[in-house]
Amino acid sequence: MTSIQQQVHTWLEEGRVDIFLAYRMVEGHPLPHAFTRERIDETDTLVTGPARYSLEKFATHIASRYPDAKIGMVARDCNQRALNVLQVWNQLKPGQVDTVPVNCCPSLLKPHADCSYLEPKPAGHVKLERGQDPNQSLAQADTLPRAERFDRWMYEFSKCIKCYGCRNICPVCFCKDCSLEHPDLIGTGHLPPDIPIFHLVRAVHMAGRCIDCGLCEDACPAEIPLRLLYRKVNAIVKDLFGYETGSGDTLPPFSILGDKPTMSPQPLLAVSQE
Amino acid sequence: MTLKRMTFLQHLLDFMGLAGRLHLEWISSAEAQRFVATVTGFTETIRRLGPSPLRSAALRRYDNISAAPVPCSGPASLQPPAMPDSGIQIANG
Amino acid sequence: MDLKFVPSICSYCGTGCGVLFEVLDGELVGTLPMKTHPVNHGKLCIKGWNLHEHVNSPLRLKHPLVKTFGRFTKVDWDKAIGVATDRLKAVIAAHGPDSVGILVSAKMTNEENYLAQKFARAVIGTNNVDHCARL
């Protein structure tokens, strides 16, 4: 029995958590599994590894039906950030979710990293020629001329098949009524959807929420570099308001008025004639 | 709040390559002169920027589907036969 | 509190994407793409993402309905099958077996679909069988 299996076993036995969300192997696939006290022997099969599902989303589903349930889960850094955001937005009670930290993104502190995003797929030549390379940095994406930037983003967006996968998989998307399904805001019955409105509406809603887990890009059948877009969204939020999404328990800048206005209307952004 | 959102959106649109087309200004109903100056100024800015690239981007999207990416350069026997002239002129406008 | 994750295959088309059903207290509450499935690699189309919707849909037919005088009325199975048999017999007698077509569904099991095509070919005598998942 590994130490993490032992820990989960103890937590369930002691009643520290009622349900524990982690992974186990099913027919060769690492799949999420809910470990409970009734079936405590199953903890022997708990595994960790590069599998990534939004466990925190399952936690919100449990919490909406059982508000007093004590939930445990294995958490990478992105899971932890998502839990912080869900708590800020009142989807989980403070302290309701107990986490067992597991390996995540590589860093000096964490040499043994487990994440499907460790080695991003290199972009093919068509994407490099016409689209936005998902592996480029924000600074690189900003250096292209405006017209080219626009063309490249529109090329990416025009591939959208409107599967709503980015929204469905997103751990911090929890609204009952989604703007993306409102027929007055997003036209229905044609593909691609209204671009770039569809993607920009979602990008705006990600401001102060997106925790950069990359699940949306992972789930996108059209391989739109959504993570790059939302990274920019949160870089803007950080530059303008100094708010670090997912870091703590403060409300994001778009949901609080503040004591007094701290900004003044911007003049039109200077546009060079390209 | 509006100010926060609009400033954010200006930056996001700039990242997309659509800068300068969004402007926010508070004008009281008593400030007719200011309203005129703002609208005139913004109209001028928009005119200088030219038509929105969104419309042409929407049209280009469908062109790309039919356009052959690589011209056929095989032997003459593999070249597609020339289309007979239908005599119909399609105005390009 | 009983949360289960059930791996399955999407039943909408012949591609065979791996899906994972989220079952909370015996109720299907969500569908997810299976990340490690070799067919779809964690991606789904809009139909696959909404697989759970039709299971819980209030519009689902739960009883046989027979249309009489322009209105659907609830009847028992014997009656429904009797009406279908009579009408099919009448149509086949008047216009031949190829005037009948059988539409089957991906929402049934393989065995039921097999039976339906057998019914069309062996009993009615037509090859007019089609399926929504014929991609």
| ipTM score for this prediction | 0.82
CB contact burial B50-65 (16+ within 10 A = b; e otherwise): eeebeeebeeebeeee
Rg (CA), chain C: 19
Q: What is the pLDDT of residue C82?
A: 94
CA terminus-to-terminus distance, chain B: 44
Place of tokens 């009579």: C86
Residue A188 pLDDT greater than 60, yes or no: yes
Nearest beta carbon to residue A233 from set B12, B18, B61: B12
Please state whether the peptide bond connecting residue A192 to the residue before it is cis, i.e. omega within 30 degrees of 0. yes
- Are C39 and C71 members of one domain? no
Q: What is the pLDDT of residue A51?
A: 80
Tokens of B72: 């056929």
Q: What letter does residue A247 receive in the DSSP assignment?
A: S
Distance separating alpha carbons of residues A18 and A8, to the nearest angstrom = 11
Decide if A219 touches C, using CB distance below 8 A. Answer: yes
Range with lowest mean pLDDT among A242-246, C40-44, C102-106: A242-246
- Are C127 and C69 members of one domain? yes
Q: What is the pLDDT of residue B85?
A: 54
Q: What is the pLDDT of residues A210-235, one digit of tens each?
A: 888 888 888 999 889 998 899 889 88
Q: What share of chain B is helix, strand, coil (3-state, %, to 5)?
A: 55, 0, 45
Distance separating alpha carbons of residues C117 and C130, to the nearest angstrom = 9
Q: What is the pLDDT of residue C134?
A: 65
Decide if A86 touches C, using CB distance below 8 A. Answer: no
Distance separating alpha carbons of residues A93 and A62, to the nearest angstrom = 12
Contact flag A240-B11 (C-beta cutoff 8 Å): yes
* More confident: B77 or C120: C120
Concatenated DSSP letters of A68-85: T--EEEEE-HHHHHHHHH
Best of B1, B2, B3, B4 to disrupt the A interface (most A CBs within 10 Å) is B4
Contact flag C46-A18 (C-beta cutoff 8 Å): no
Residue C89 pLDDT greater than 90, yes or no: yes
Residue B65 pLDDT greater than 50, yes or no: no
- Are C40 and C79 members of one domain? no
Query: With touching defined as 3+ CB pairs under 8 A, do chains C and B touch?
Result: no
Range with lowest mean pLDDT among A79-93, A200-214, A235-249, C106-120: A235-249
- CATH number of the CATH domain containing C38: 2.20.25.90
- Are C14 and C71 members of one domain? no
Q: Is residue B7 part of a domain?
A: yes
Looking at the DSSP bridge assignments, the partners of residue C33 are: C19
CA terminus-to-terminus distance, chain A: 64
Distance separating alpha carbons of residues C72 and C69, to the nearest angstrom = 8
3-state secondary structure of C30: strand
Q: Is residue B92 part of a domain?
A: no
At residue A227, φ and ψ (nearest 5 deg) are -65, -40
Distance separating alpha carbons of residues A129 and B56, to the nearest angstrom = 20
Rounded mean pLDDT of C99-112? Answer: 86
Residue A9 pLDDT greater than 70, yes or no: yes
Q: What is the pLDDT of residue A274?
A: 41
Rounded mean pLDDT of A236-256? Answer: 80
Q: What is the pLDDT of residue A267?
A: 56
- Are C44 and C91 members of one domain? no
Residue A184 pLDDT greater than 60, yes or no: yes
Q: Is residue B16 part of a domain?
A: yes
* More confident: B59 or C3: C3
Confidence at A238, pLDDT banded by 50, 70, 90: confident
Best of A60, A116, A169 to disrupt the C interface (most C CBs within 10 Å) is A169
Instruction: Decide if C36 contacts A30 (C-beta within 8 A).
Output: yes
Length of chain B: 93
Distance separating alpha carbons of residues A123 and A173, to the nearest angstrom = 28
Instruction: Decide if C65 contacts C57 (C-beta within 8 A).
Output: no
Residue C95 pLDDT greater than 90, yes or no: yes
Rounded mean pLDDT of A164-187? Answer: 89
Decide if C33 touches A, using CB distance below 8 A. Answer: yes
Q: Is residue B79 part of a domain?
A: no
Rounded mean pLDDT of A73-84? Answer: 87
Residue where a domain stops, chosen among C29, C56, C83: C56
Residue B31 pLDDT greater than 80, yes or no: yes
Q: What is the largest CA-CA distance in chain C?
A: 58
Confidence at A207, pLDDT banded by 50, 70, 90: confident
The 10 Å Cβ neighbour count of residue A235 is 15
Identify the domain containing residue B12 by its residue range.
2-63
Residue A116 pLDDT greater than 60, yes or no: no
Distance separating alpha carbons of residues A219 and C42, to the nearest angstrom = 6
Q: What is the pLDDT of residue A271?
A: 47
3-state secondary structure of C50: coil
Concatenated DSSP letters of A102-169: ---S--SS-SS---TTSSPPPP-HHHHHHS--TTS-HHHHHHS-HHHHHHHHHHHHTT-----HHHHH
- Are C16 and C46 members of one domain? yes
Q: What is the pLDDT of residue A261?
A: 63
Instruction: Compute the mean pLDDT over every residue in chain A, rounded to the nearest whole number.
Output: 83
Instruction: Compute the mean pLDDT over every residue in chain C, rounded to the nearest whole number.
Output: 89
Residue A191 pLDDT greater than 80, yes or no: no
Residue C60 pLDDT greater than 60, yes or no: yes
Q: Is residue B83 part of a domain?
A: no
Decide if A174 touches B, using CB distance below 8 A. Answer: no
Place of tokens 């056929």: B72
Tokens of C118: 């057998």
Decide if C132 touches A, using CB distance below 8 A. Answer: no
- Are C100 and C49 members of one domain? no
Q: What is the pLDDT of residues C18-40, one digit of tens each?
A: 999 999 998 999 999 998 899 98
- Are C96 and C73 members of one domain? yes
Q: Is residue B84 part of a domain?
A: no
Percent of chain A with pLDDT over 70: 87
Number of domains comprising chain B: 1
Contact flag A150-B25 (C-beta cutoff 8 Å): no
Number of domains comprising chain C: 2
- For B64, the closest chain A residue by CA position comes to A155
Identify the domain containing residue C8 by its residue range.
3-56
Q: What is the pLDDT of residue A138?
A: 84
Q: What is the pLDDT of residues C2-16, one digit of tens each?
A: 899 999 988 887 788
Rounded mean pLDDT of A255-263? Answer: 67
Confidence at B67, pLDDT banded by 50, 70, 90: very low
Rounded mean pLDDT of A236-261? Answer: 77
Instruction: Decide if A168 contacts A175 (C-beta within 8 A).
Output: no
Measured between CA atoms, how close is A106 to chain B, in angstroms?
Answer: 28
Residue A258 pLDDT greater than 70, yes or no: no
Instruction: Compute the mean pLDDT over every residue in chain B, rounded to the nearest whole number.
Output: 72
